Amino acid sequence: MVLTQLVSKEVAVVVTAAMPVIELRGAIPVGMSLGMSPWEAFVLSLIGSMMPVPFLLLLVRPIFAYLRQTELFRNLVDKLSNRTLAKSGNIQKYGFWGLLVFVAVPLPGTGVWTGTLAATLLGMRFKPALAAIWIGDVIAGLAVMTISHGAFSAYRLWL
């Protein structure tokens, strides 16, 4: 059964954008493939990708502290933390601007989930981290929307 048979295409795009790894970068093309305008797909994807960010900024540190106390999750949390911190050199060096650029670059391994995790692990304050992540996500979304719109337009020319 296809997801859009269970929920509306708008909900499907918002939920897709809220998922780690896929995020807004995957949700915009999904929305456009479902017949949405580029701007509608962009706005819904931005909403979906930003929904988990405030909760992650507030809850990652206490959840990781709790999970580190268990043998089952200690190695996983340490591996995830170390991998994220290894990618966060520019965030450490440039703070707000480093985080903004990290989230804005639409490449695998960057985005709101990794950026939020890095901001939390580096001890960034909530409001500047949230603002940098939001602005970076808008920039990434505009880039993905532009590229996707061009790709869909080129595809239609071949039909």
Listed residue (58, 97, 65) closest to 81, CA to CA: 65
pLDDT tens for each residue of 18-27: 999 999 999 9
Contact 60, 120 (CB under 8 A): yes
Record the pTM: 0.86
CA dihedral 52, 53, 58, 64 (to 10 degrees): 70
- Residue 86's pLDDT is 87
Give me 56's structure tokens: 């992650």
Least confident of 65-69, 72-76, 124-128, 145-149: 145-149
Give me 87's structure tokens: 């990618």
Report residue 151's pLDDT band, with 50, 70 and 90 as the boundaries: low
Is residue 94's pLDDT more than 60?
A: yes
